[in-house]
Amino acid sequence: MATYDLTPRIAPNLDRHLVFPLLEFLQEQQMYPDEEILKAKIELLNKTNMVDYAMDIHKSLYRTEDVPQDMIERRVEVVARLKSLEESAAPLVAFLQNPSAVQELRADKQYNLQMLNDRYQIGPDQIEALYQYAKFQFECGNYSGAADYLYQYRALCTNSERSLSALWGKLAAEVLMQNWVVAVEELNRLKEIIDSKSFSSPLNQVQSRIWLMHWSLFIFFNHDNDKTQIIDLFNQDKYLNAIQTSAPHLLRYLATAFIINKRRRSQFKDFIRVIQQEQHSYKDPITEFLACVFVNYDFDGAQKKMKECEEVIVKDPFLGKQVEDGNGSTMPLRDEFLKNARLFILETYCRIHQRIDMG
C-alpha cells in the first residue's frame, strides 16, 4: 500500500508542522518501519523549536535516556531567544491583554498606529516584535498563543506581504488545533487574497493555489460538511489548471468528493475528461475506477478496482478518518464511497444495456 501513499508528494506543499499529523497516521497504520517514521519526525523537528519533543523521540528511537549535546545546547538557545522576544513584545502584549484599551482600536489601521504611539509609546518595532514572538511561539508548538498573536498582529500590520504570511500561520495554527469552523473562515480569507492579489509572477500565484488546496485537505475531510466545498474549490478552472500542471495527485481527493456527492453530477462529465487527460501523469485505484465505469465501460474491472479503492481509502490520512460510535469505530467516508461506487456501476450498466438479467 506504500505505493499509493501520497505523503511524499503532499508534504513539500505543507508547513513543516502540518506534516506531523500525517506521520502519526502512517505510524498507526504501520505502513513503514517505526524507525523510519521516528527518523523522519526528528528530521522535521530539528528545523523547529520543539526541542523537548525531539529529545523524547530521540530517546524512544535509540532506547536511551541520553540525548546529544547539540540538542541540549539548542534547547538553551531556544529558551533564551523566547525570553528575549517576550521582552520585546511585552508592551504590546500588555496592551492587548487590557480589554478596555483594546476597545479603543478601530478598523482604521493608521489611526490605531498613531494612537498606540501617542498614548502607549508602542511603535513599529513593538509591532514587528509581536510578529516574531507569534512566529516563535508557533515554532515551539504553542499554536493557541501563536493564533491569538497573529490575529492581533494582522489588525495592526500595514505591510501586505507580512499580513499574508501571518494569515498562513494563523490557518496552520487553527488546523493543528482542529478548530475547523475558524479554519474554514481563514481558508476563505486566504483564497480571496490569492485570487485578487497581483503577484510578481503568475507562477507564484499558481504555487499559492497549490499550497491552499493541500492545506484545505485537513479541513474538508474533518469539518462536518457534505464534502461539496472541496468540489467548489478544486473544480474551479484556475484551481483545476493548477492541479493538472503541478499537482495531479490531488485528483484522488476531487474524484472521491465527486463519487460521494450525487448532487454534483452536472459538473461530473467535464471531470471525467480531466481524468482521461491526466491518466499519463497520475492514476490510482480511485481515478482508475472512474475510467473503468465512464470511459471504458469495463464493469468487471470496476468491481476489482472497488476493492483496491477501499484499501487506498483506509490507508489515506485524509480519507481514512475513523469515527467512534456505539458499536466501535466506523469509517464513514469509506462506507459512503463504496455505496455510491456500486450505484455508479449499476446506473451506467442500466444506461447502456436494453435488457438486464436480474440474477
Instruction: Give the pLDDT of residue 291.
Output: 96
Contact 318, 221 (CB under 8 A): yes
Helix axes 16-29, 160-176, angle to 10 degrees: 20
Instruction: Give the pLDDT of residue 325.
Output: 66
Contact 202, 191 (CB under 8 A): no
**Cα torsion through 344, 347, 352, 357, rounded to 10:** 110
Instruction: Give the pLDDT of residue 93.
Output: 93
pTM, two decimal places: 0.93
pLDDT (tens, 9 = 90+) of the chain, 359 residues, equals: 578 999 999 999 999 999 999 999 999 999 999 999 999 999 999 999 999 999 999 999 999 999 999 999 999 999 999 999 999 999 999 999 998 888 888 888 888 899 999 989 999 999 999 999 999 999 999 999 999 999 999 989 999 999 999 999 999 999 999 999 999 999 999 999 999 987 888 899 999 999 999 999 999 999 876 678 999 999 999 999 999 999 999 999 999 999 998 777 778 889 999 999 999 999 999 999 999 999 999 999 999 999 999 999 999 999 998 876 666 677 889 999 999 999 999 999 999 988 888 77
